[in-house]
A and B are shown apart, each in its own frame.
Chain A
Amino acid sequence: MNRIEGRVKVTGLATYAAEYPVEGVTYAYPVQSQVAKGRIARVDDREALAMPGVLAVLSSERPPELAPEAEGELALFQSREVAYRGQIVAAVVADTYENARAAAAVVRVEYQPQAHDVHLSTEHPGLYRPKTVNPGFPTDTGHGDVEAGLAAAATTIDVTYTTPVLHNNPMEPHASLAYWDDLGRLMVYDASQGATSGRDIIARTFGLPRDAVRVVARHVGGGFGSKGTTRPQAVLAAMAAREVGRPVKIALTRHQMYDVTGYRTPTIQRLRLGADADGRLTALEHVAYEQSSTVEEFAEQTAVPGRVMYGTPALRTAHRLVRLDVATPSWMRAPGECPGMYALESAMDELAYAAGLDPVELRVLNDPETEPGSGRPFSSRNLVGCLREGARRFDWERRDPQPGVRRDGEWLIGTGVAASTYPARRMPSKAVVAAQDGEFLVQIAAADIGTGARTVLTKIAAETLGVAPDQVHVEIGDSDLPDAFLAGGSMGTASWGSAVFRACEDFQRDGKEGHADTAEEIAKDAELARHAFGAQFAEVRVNAVTGEVRVSRLLGVFAAGHIMDATLARSQFIGGMTMGLGMALMEETYTDEEFGGFLRRDLAQYHIPANADVPNLEAVWLEEEDEELNPMGSKGIGEIGIVGTAAAIGNAVFHAAGHRVRDLPITPAKILMPRF
């Protein structure tokens, strides 16, 4: 079964947020702060207001009313304080995009600038221990005595890895189209990963009852976390529409996205590992240093993988955060696991070399019986199976561990392995199924951001109802549909699928209508450790002349419960792995210490992988039967593909070139100048 929306997507008819035809639409264009910290003394909008087609200028001079509950990045124009360079400080509304943009360029904002600080370091005096880390995990955990474990170890390593600011960069820029109807109801077409949560946030921000807001997001051009929370442009569109009494459309530019739609925090991660003479871990310590803004606290859960991955008598994981004069970081594909597993799995490779062990065998040897951080049993865990299957397919047995010795002309060749993990959770959602002219209508406010949600929910409904998929019509992407969790945390299909499954069961009692609300069912789920696992194998070529690194082969083997649709699953896995390849070799946003803010805010300078970077990419999986997950027996697959990829590639680069780069991305500069 091909993607249900395939035809509308290939014919150009699929409608994304900024593309709904609305009578009398106007255009808003934001003005961004040019200082990194300070206070707005004055906004002079006279010249802008005199420009052709300009309808309004919004700013903190006359703060448009929002509810007292409006918070963080969404409390637009409510304060005169500037928290970071690039923050939205004003906006112009005009009859055309060209007029709005031209007028925005002449809005004069006078600042009282203050000294700013945008530099993350492990020595920063402002570092503190956040109360929890995203999405509510304990900040620091541990058991046993790490120092004693290290002291008793036959082999130890103490290494620090750094990762840069990374940007989600979905292909569709964040966009919203808003209007207020005759009854005062607010309609927002939004590039959003969750219509229900988007509606709730917008309602709270404007002090409206939830049913006075409708959010529609039928097609979303990728998000990777950055559309998981409502972004300022949605509030701005609604605010501006109220101001001018007409529909307002705003599509952020690619440059603006870098500032106001979230990013992955840079990390500094220190790993200390010890192993006994056999290679069994005696201690594992993972401390992550990260940043957030002064607007909001976002603490990425970077050190959590150590709580899941390997058995050890002594474990310590900790997070330290500093609030800088920077934009607010947020979710980017596999927050926590992605950067954390880059460091942990690189460190495991270093430990294997230090101990003279095979990196696959080291991981197998330390595979735990129960979840190390909690002591809970796993609902299922097949990391060892993934490692073994990958090793078989990659001919790992014949690998010479010696680094820096395989050469093909200018190219040094190496292979590397890393493990992957991602939690398998689900969240309460509601669904309704009804019979309609011999067909079955399934309604749920789910989101399809490219995952294939519409398609897989159709399959779940058809199988549960025992009918053909083409008899089932699934309606999603609208907050007027039954409330659903957002597309995030690899929880979409598990959450929505559970609701659709139960609604279909309910339907079968009378054949007319079925309802489900999975809140109670999920509350009763047993206390188990539920995670997907995987193993990534990379073969890289490192050019000895130029320092260029090319990935010649990438293989992911995953154990993620029951795979419901092989085609969609493969696409998710390889997509995640491709983003991991970008993280390993090219992705980086430059923080401008002198002026604050980011530089290279475009796709010419922030390189995401191009087609030519991805020659040979395979994703396979081990089918798992796990009845402790959800009615489908599935684990989420949207994020695990990116987890471990960068480590596998980095480990392969070490194997090829013979020196370890501990600072992403691994660019020619760092290959050519090892101390760069």
Chain B
Amino acid sequence: MIDPRYRLKDHSRESQLISTRLIIAGVLSVLLFGIIIFRLVILQIVEFEHFDSLSNRNRIDIEPLPPQRGLIYDRNGVLLAENIPTFSLELIPEKVPDIDATLAELTTLLSLTEEDIEAFKTRRTRHRAFEEVVLRSQLTEEEVALFSVNRHRFPGVDVVGRLIRHYPQGALFAHAVGYVGRINQQEMQEIDRQNYKGTLQIGKNGVEKQYEDLLHGTVGYRQVETNVQGRTVRELYSEPATGGEDLYLHLDINLQRTAAEALGDYSGSVVALDTRNGGVLALVSKPDYDPNAFVTGISVKDYAELRDNPEQPLFNRALRGHYPPGSTFKPFVALAGLELNVVTEQSRTYCPGFYSLPGNDHRYRCWRRQGHAHVDLKSAMAESCDVYFYDLAHALGIDRLHGFLDYFGFGHQTGIDVPGESRGLSPSREWKRAQRNQAWFPGETLISGIGQGFNQTTPVQLAHATATLGMMGTAFKPQLVRATKADTDEGMQLIGAQQADSLPIQQSRNWQAVIESMVEVIHGRRGTARHTGEGLPFKFAGKTGTAQVFGIAQDAKYDAETLAKKLHDHALFVAFAPAEDPEIAIAVVVENGGSGSGVAAPIARKLIDVYFGIETEKEADESIDE
């Protein structure tokens, strides 16, 4: 039986019927597509010229108007970062009939180098044919004039003026202000690309990076009609860019310059803070480098030279340099001893020139081999007696010492408004267990008490802790930027000081005692820095430090002459002035400087002189001579 669904009798007739209809549909389809092709012929052949000219001549371009980057001033209004005009030769490949011939002609006209041509060719591959490609940047005025006269010979090539960043003070502020450079691939991912249309540079370092959002501003637009060559025929509409905000820093160019000059050829760092608000008055790290080299892209060779320099000029020592604080640590240890009632101001210790832990004959040496005999807080601080502080540290124990030092920010970032700050290291029992999987030895507490051993501090930390000490516990976050000024605003917007919690010190007498002992360092008869305070109308407080770069054997003697310079001790000095009601706190670190009192302290004194406008006798004589 045949399945009734197939209806055999109808099948061939239906098949015939459907085939006929399929053929009719096919013919209809071809006819319909005939209409489409007819229409296409009209558009693409008959009206080709009309549409071609519409496509070519009346292109509407939208050009970004990049905002002008905010300027940076020091506290006196001296420009630290500005924008200067520069001209570059740019080429739109699509508009140039014969690129090789054009390049050859331009080479003879403007003496382009092989490097220029090579760089152009690699850049060209990254752009579309209708986008302009830089052929040569930073043209001289003469070259601009030369090209302008011959411009008609080079369709698709033009001189374009731009503003680029310039640092008039050169290397002086490199580590504080930082620099801008070409936006790289990674930064491209992080920024709002719309807002960076037409902008080539971005803050890479220092204030330039930290305040990128404020400095950059908001992009504007211009809608223009362009002709066949791509030149603007007329402007249709424009929305101006909003320039970035200007920044006014706490930095003082006089202090900065004094500090940099005083460091001379030494590597090292000087940080000066305004104790009353945390403002950074000077931030110097030596050696330094010229930030202008980075703006339009530093050459590989120059960069390699900076990177491979053994003195590491690119390294920001003020923020990232790890130094043992040495004896500059002693005021903080002393305060801990007083506050935790381990010692009193009058407690006396006998210094025979060494210290031994009970039941152990290992000798921890005092820097003065013959000893200091009987010392109390004031004389121990003034003469920097190590034995007094070994004893004190031993009595405190590492746990209490570490906890107390925490208050002053050792082992923590100060929160300064420059990226890349290091935390330093304030060792503790837990730290040693976690990092080295070792128990804490009592001897390590002793050397912690004189700022050696595991302790690592950055110059910014030292200055910050010293300011906190001078202000008797009122701590401010170090801050470079004092005020901002928007493009549209008349006046400046001050950035308020950021105060941290006050330190939990109960007895104000303890502050007094430590500060008095630090005054003794400068102004006392036997103070280690007794020459530093001469000829000042006020007293200031300070502490010298000499940090060992390498360990000296038990009974050996340190002999600077026979040691390579690399192994000389680091010279340190911290101070705040005036001792009563301080205004400025200073930390000086001179790498391999040898002695804190001889090398580091005079640098701080120079800053104090400049800050308070004190003319020393010698300078006064010179000014009379002039």
- Do A and B make up one complex? no
